């Protein structure tokens, strides 16, 4: 029997994903077709409403791609999960109380998630109440984004939160929060290493954004197992830039051969 994405994440398989910012199902379908493990649909920083989210998660399902959703706040968790998300990332989890709020919004047992099984997550009523509750609490991931300097003083409490599956280290916001010039600044590198060490100690998987295989290799040695590279718009832009550059360097045909 194939493992669920949640099982693969929790067992720290090496996983590859990207952010999706374009409100259409097609990018998710393409990413799944080429073999990516997951996509993070970005409702925090992209113009993605509920209807678009519904179509994007359908695209994920069509191509066998695990569709996670970066929601703007804990109040947006319910819609993402009912629509069929494989999990949620909640930004700016800076303390244990915030982590508990995130988990409560996502979990039925021991949480506060409002019940409905007449949606994609519940097979449109095809799963009974108890089966739906058990499946959702077992198969969806709840990830806290660690991206604030203040969170560094509360890592143990955040990571000890029952029902929290893992963390995503937000290096961009962490860099801004610490007033550093870039994510390569020593103060940021030290902070990321500290977060990774705390996650290892707590036994929590880590997802992190990287630029390439070399970056992923370095973070994997420190305990990270899920890697996010770029986003759908960035990947399209990179491909378009390469194409334009290639055509600009085409040799000019000899006179009279046109």
Give me the pLDDT at residue 258, please: 61
For residue 11, tell me if it sits in a domain: yes
Which of these is catalytic: 26, 45, 132, 154? 45
Each residue's pLDDT, cut to its tens digit, for the chain (258 residues) gives 789 999 999 999 999 999 999 999 999 999 999 999 999 999 999 999 999 999 999 999 999 999 999 999 999 999 999 999 999 999 999 999 999 999 999 999 999 999 999 999 999 999 999 999 999 999 999 999 999 999 999 999 999 999 999 999 999 999 999 999 999 999 999 999 999 999 999 999 999 999 999 999 999 999 999 999 999 999 999 999 999 999 999 998 877 666
| Structural domain boundaries enclosing 148 | 5-248
Give me the pLDDT at residue 257, please: 64
Question: What would you measure as the largest C-alpha separation in the chain, in angstroms?
Answer: 78
Task: Look up tokens 């045909």; give the residue.
Answer: 253
For residue 215, tell me if it sits in a domain: yes
Torsion angle of alpha carbons 213, 193, 227, 143, nearest 10°? 180
Give me the pLDDT at residue 69, please: 98
- Calpha distance 102→90 (Å, rounded): 7
For residue 256, tell me if it sits in a domain: no
Task: Look up tokens 């051969």; give the residue.
Answer: 257
For residue 254, tell me if it sits in a domain: no
**Structure token pair of residue 57:** 């998660």
For residue 167, tell me if it sits in a domain: yes
Q: Is 72 helix (H, G, I), strand (E, B) or coil?
A: coil
For residue 38, tell me if it sits in a domain: yes
Q: Is 45 a catalytic residue?
A: yes
Question: pTM score, two decimals?
Answer: 0.96
Domain holding 192: CATH number? 3.20.20.60
For residue 255, tell me if it sits in a domain: no
Q: Report the domain count for the chain.
A: 1
53 touches 25 (CB < 8 A) = no
199 touches 206 (CB < 8 A) = yes
Helix ranges (H only) for 114-231 are: 129-139, 155-159, 171-177, 186-202, 213-220
Give me the pLDDT at residue 2, please: 85
23 touches 56 (CB < 8 A) = yes
């Amino acid at each position: 029997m194939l493992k669920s994405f949640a099982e693969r994440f929790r067992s720290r398989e090496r996983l590859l994903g990207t952010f999706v910012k374009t409100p259409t199902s097609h990018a998710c379908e393409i990413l799944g077709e080429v073999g990516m493990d997951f996509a993070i649909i970005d409702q925090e920083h992209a113009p993605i409403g509920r209807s678009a989210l519904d179509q994007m998660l359908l695209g994920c399902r069509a191509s066998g791609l695990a569709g996670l959703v970066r929601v703007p706040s804990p109040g947006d968790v319910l819609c993402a999960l009912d629509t069929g998300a494989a999990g949620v990332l909640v930004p700016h989890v800076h303390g244990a109380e915030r982590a508990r709020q995130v988990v409560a919004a996502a979990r039925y047992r021991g949480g506060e998630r409002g019940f409905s099984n007449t949606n994609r997550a519940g097979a449109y009523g095809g799963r009974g109440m108890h089966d739906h509750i058990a499946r959702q609490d077992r198969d969806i991931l709840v990830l806290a984004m660690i991206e604030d300097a203040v969170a560094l003083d509360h890592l143990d409490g955040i990571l000890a939160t029952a029902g929290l599956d893992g963390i995503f280290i937000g290096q961009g916001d962490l860099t801004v929060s610490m007033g550093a010039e870039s994510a390569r600044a020593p103060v940021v590198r030290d902070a990321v290493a500290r977060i990774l060490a705390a996650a290892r100690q707590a036994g929590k998987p880590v997802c992190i954004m990287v630029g390439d295989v070399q970056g992923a290799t370095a973070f994997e040695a420190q305990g990270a197992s899920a890697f996010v590279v770029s986003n759908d718009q960035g990947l399209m832009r990179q491909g378009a830039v390469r194409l334009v550059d290639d055509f600009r360097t085409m040799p000019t045909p000899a006179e009279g051969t046109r």
